[in-house]
Amino acid sequence: MTAAVIDGKAFAATLRARVGDLAAAFEAKAGRKAGLAVVLVGEDPASQVYVRSKGKSTVEAGMNSFEYKLPADTAEADLLATVDQLNADPAVDGILVQLPLPKHIDEQKVIAAINPDKDVDGFHVTNAGRLAVGQPGFVPCTPLGCLMLLKDRLGDLSGLDAVVIGRSNIVGKPMAQLLIAESCTVTVAHSRTKDLAQVVKRADIVVAAVGRAEMVKGDWIKPGATVIDVGINRVAGAEAGKTKLVGDVDYDSAAAVASAITPVPGGVGPMTIAVLLRNTLVAAYRNEGLELAADAV
């Protein structure tokens, strides 16, 4: 079998277009644009690329982008003051503080400072709790993007065996919550999991969010399974001095057995940004007390 390629880039473009239409409708009703503030502390080149890309997509979708670039030695108190200022700013509907933060800053403290109703990353404990108990709130962008791709491909997920590899607060755990809510039978694997290959072999759905280049091999995959590769790993390329992006899944061997698979790049990554815009739009409607149909976007 040669797996179908799940085109996250194309799906994300469609989602961004829908968000753009609704952002224009929001502006007409509210008399202002929806706004996303992105805060970057330090000069990590990969983070700078993401932040630039987020800013560009935000403006393209007809929303305001407010970028805050703070030096790497910014004091925690000053970052918390910036978050407070954004919490109080009515032009800002969504706040994203790019992670990871420099070592001297307590990430949990910063996330806790964000108003949960502006927490478009869905990282605040209030939103994690809402997801866990099935209340409306903000869901982290990457796992929600993965779920959209899965539902688009498979329709009803109920009764399917899903294995999530990784248990981080930003990807693995919320991904597992979403799949439980879809009535999958969910296994969460991590670095202490025994016989990972055998665990993965059971799965109709494999979500790999490990951070280890090409770790998941084709012979771990059940024939016909759907594989979602969240990993973004920069490795040495074929040409000397050049690098390339690879996922957490060994693409060629997995594509030979899976029925469908996301590529890296062009899979989950573009979905993350599109869902961020979607969450910002939803935040804007809620913050203005305007109706937005649950299935609008």
Ligand X SMILES: NC(=O)C1=CN([C@@H]2O[C@H](COP(=O)(O)OP(=O)(O)OC[C@H]3O[C@@H](n4cnc5c(N)ncnc54)[C@H](OP(=O)(O)O)[C@@H]3O)[C@@H](O)[C@H]2O)C=CC1
Is 237 annotated as belonging to a binding site?
no
Name the token pair of 87. Answer: 């919490």
Query: Out of 55, 211, 218, 266, which residue is the one contacting ligand X (CB under 6 A)?
Result: 211
The binding site for ligand GUE (CB under 6 A) comprises 49-50, 96-99, 121, 141, 232, 245, 264-266, 269-270, 272-273
170 contacts ligand X (rule: CB under 6 A)? yes
- Residue from 196, 206, 255, 276 touching ligand X (CB under 6 A): that is 196
233-236/243-246 β-pairing: antiparallel
d(CA 115, CA 270): 26
The nearer residue to ligand X, 208 or 285, going by C-beta atoms, is: 208
For ligand X, which is the closer residue by CB, 73 or 106? 106
Residue 179 or 264: the one with the smaller Cβ distance to ligand GUE is 264
Q: Residues for the chain: how many in total?
A: 297
Whichever of 7 and 288 has its CB closer to ligand GUE, that residue is 7
Question: Which residue among 54, 118, 173, 222 is the active-site one?
Answer: 54
Query: Can you tell me the distance from the alpha carbon of 34 to that of 50, in angstroms, rounded to the nearest whole number?
Result: 20
* Residue 167, marked binder: yes
- Residue 193 binding ligand X, by CB under 6 A: yes
Structure tokens at 2: 């040669």
Catalytic site residue 121? yes
Helix (H/G/I), strand (E/B), else coil: 150:
helix
What is the DSSP pairing of strand 233-236 with strand 35-41?
unpaired
Binding mask 173-192 for ligand X (x = CB under 6 A): ----------------xxxx
Q: Determine, following the binding rule CB under 6 A, whether residue 168 of this chain makes contact with ligand X.
A: yes
Of the candidate spans 30-38, 90-98, 104-112, 209-217, the one that interacts with ligand X by CB under 6 A turns out to be 209-217
**40: β partners:** 69
- Residue from 47, 48, 185, 233 touching ligand X (CB under 6 A): that is 233
Count of chain residues binding ligand X (CB under 6 A): 26
- Under a CB-based contact definition with an 8 Å cutoff, are residues 120 and 281 in contact? no
Q: Identify whether 45 is preceded by a cis peptide bond (ω within 30 of 0).
A: no
Query: Residue 136: which residues within 8 A CB-CB, separation 6 or more?
Result: 130
Asked if 47 is part of the footprint of ligand X (rule: CB under 6 A), the reply reads: no
- Position 200 contacts ligand X (CB under 6 A): no
Nearest alpha-carbon partner for 38 in 210, 280, 281: 280
Residue 192 site contact among ligand X, ligand GUE, none (CB < 5 to 8 Å, cut-off depends on kind): ligand X
Residue partners of 188: CB distance under 8 A and separation at least 6: 163, 164, 166, 167, 172, 173, 176
Q: Catalytic residue numbers?
A: 54, 98, 121
